[in-house]
Amino acid sequence: MSHAPQSWLAVTVDGESEPAVSAPVRFWLAGLTGPKNYYNLVNFSRNGLGLTQAMPFGNGITFSLRNAGDQPIKNIAVEVCVEPAEGDRAKEVAAMMRLRGAFLPAGEGGRSLAHYAGAGRLIAIACESLGGNETGIAEMVIDGAVQDGWAAPNLDLLLGQSGDFQTTLSGRAGSMAWRYFWLAPVGFSQSLDLTGTAESLGGRLALFYAKQR
């Protein structure tokens, strides 16, 4: 059991029985690790911490917070901005891909960094190094085919540079590293598997836009 407060946020859409995404808040807000006030397309810190990730839904959306630690969490709340869709726009939103998340706790899931079975797009990954040792990338497999140019001994290629840094869509601070593929999402028709080189990985959250179930 954790010896500190640990808030989790789960999002359920369209009345589904399971959350579309459920993960510790620090992975949702990975871009705010380290200095808070820098230009960032995804997260912000203005009168509270915020996320600009779009979450389409056609039949309702539910946000649930829980404390997975053993100490109380005080003064926490969720505020959501909703853009109603009507007419033809409502039909478009109803047919959109839905945000899906795959969170794996530290030490679980083998060497998998991101996995999805079905059709969709990888749009983000946030991961923590385990024991101070950052993983590299073993391979990216899309629709059963290994993709060239992904294998690397560390995450520098994935993130865009080495060392601790923060840009609009990627960064590394302390044990946390993140990359948002908003400008170049990784598409797949049947499946996606991104595998790390380390035998045991820290916690990681992969976000996808995927065809509705």
- Which percentage of the chain shows pLDDT scores above 70? 96
pLDDT class for 137, splitting at 50, 70, 90?
very high
Global pTM reads: 0.93
The vertex-49 CA angle with 175 and 134, nearest 5°, equals 10
114 three-class SS: strand
Radius of gyration, CA atoms only, the chain:
17
Cβ atoms of residues 28 and 205 within 8 Å: yes
Between 130 and 195, where is the model more confident? 195
Is residue 129 pLDDT above 60, yes or no? yes
What pLDDT does residue 3 have?
Answer: 44
Q: What token pair was written down for 185?
A: 């999402």
- The domain defined by 7-210 folds into Jelly Rolls (2.60.120)
Arithmetic mean of pLDDT, 64-74? 84
pLDDT for position 4: 53
Contact predicate 4/12, CB 8 Å: no
Mean pLDDT (the chain) is 91
Given this model, what pLDDT does residue 206 score?
98
Q: In this predicted structure, which of 62-76, 140-154, 197-211 has the lowest mean pLDDT?
A: 62-76
Tell me the DSSP string of 4-21. Answer: S--EEEEEEETT-SS-SE
Residue-level length of the chain: 213
In whole angstroms, give the CA distance from residue 9 to residue 66: 7
pLDDT tens readout for residues 149-184 = 999 999 999 999 999 999 999 999 989 999 999 999
Better pLDDT: 69 or 51: 51
**Residue type for position 127:** C
d(C-alpha 42, C-alpha 33), whole Å: 12
**Tokens representing 177?**
């590293």
Check pLDDT > 70 for residue 76: yes
Q: Of all helices (H) and strands (E), which one includes residue 99?
A: strand 98-104
The domain spans of the chain are 7-210
List Cα–Cα distances, 189 to 56, 125, 144, 199, in angstroms.
Answer: 20, 19, 10, 28
